[in-house]
Amino acid sequence: MNEIFEAIKKASVEIQKIIDVGDTGKSENENSTGDTQLKLDIASDIVIEKIFATIPSIKAIVSEEQEAIVPLNEDGEYLIAYDPLDGSSLVDVNLSVGSIYGIYKNDFTAQNIIAAVYVVFGPRVEMVVAADNCVKMYKLFNNSFEYIQDITLNEKGTITATGSTQMCWPDHHRILVNKMFKDGYYLRYSGGMVPDLHQILLKGGGLFSYPGTTDKPKGKLRQLFEVFPFALTYEFAGGAASDGSKRALDVETTHIHDTTPCFFGSKDEINKVLEVYKENV
């Protein structure tokens, strides 16, 4: 799998250049989830696909920005689902954005994800790799990634980040968030999944949630490109991830662009989610 990690490093160096000098405006296209694509989303997607196409061990890829699975090498072993540049709404205001990759075997299901990578494009470029039961962070220096540290979560954290608008939260989600504030948690939400989840991982714990809402009962975040890669990363870091009633990595996928409500955190916070949701749904 090393050649895949190397390919992601190479793509990330290119994407950083695109973010630095590229056009941050909107394109005329929508992706399959109905989001207007930015020119940067499309440019990043092209870079990644071009680089993955040169790797013999990759059987097929599917991008959040594309409708269908793209077959690459019949004899390849790995399937990759990726979101080339997550957090499009933050690009124009210069907040951090990121790429997310889920590496699967056999098929694109939660049970078959074996590794995950995400890259944060912020004041620094950092890459986090979840594989073989551990989570490792690398930092970009002069076009090359250097190992910095392993990441592990504490049993309990101090920050909470929750998506959508309160107007659309179900009552049990409002109860959960209010309870956390009463217990002393700090709100830390940029609106970018990658930097928000990265912050919780690096600060040792807390909760990131994107619930099912009145406008999006199945949540907003996509299973293959966003939820499963981070679920694996949080589990490998010693935390947990859920859909509100069960382990996120037990969620079933019927379509590559399926979404699911999702919660990622240290074990203590995920237990809190399960308790509150069980009592109040």
The residues that touch ligand FDP, with contacts defined as CB under 6 A, are 86-90, 163-164, 191-193, 220-221, 226
User: Least distance to ligand FDP from the beta carbon of 244, Å?
Assistant: 16
Among residues 262, 249, 269, which one has the least CA distance to residue 218?
262
User: Least distance to ligand FDP from the beta carbon of 192, Å?
Assistant: 5
**Is 72 or 128 the residue whose CB approaches ligand FDP more closely?**
128
**Is 108 or 208 the residue whose CB approaches ligand FDP more closely?**
208
In terms of DSSP H, where are the helices of the chain?
2-21, 39-52, 171-182, 193-202, 228-236, 267-280
Sign of CA dihedral 166, 167, 169, 173: positive
**Is 72 or 200 the residue whose CB approaches ligand FDP more closely?**
200
Among residues 181, 208, 204, 212, which one has the least CA distance to residue 195?
208
**Is 38 or 153 the residue whose CB approaches ligand FDP more closely?**
38
User: Least distance to ligand FDP from the beta carbon of 66, Å?
Assistant: 15
User: Least distance to ligand FDP from the beta carbon of 194, Å?
Assistant: 7
Phi, psi dihedrals of residue 93, rounded to the nearest 5°: -105, 10
**Is 55 or 90 the residue whose CB approaches ligand FDP more closely?**
90
Number of H helices, E strands in the chain: 6, 15
User: Least distance to ligand FDP from the beta carbon of 90, Å?
Assistant: 6
Among residues 122, 125, 130, which one has the least CA distance to residue 140?
125
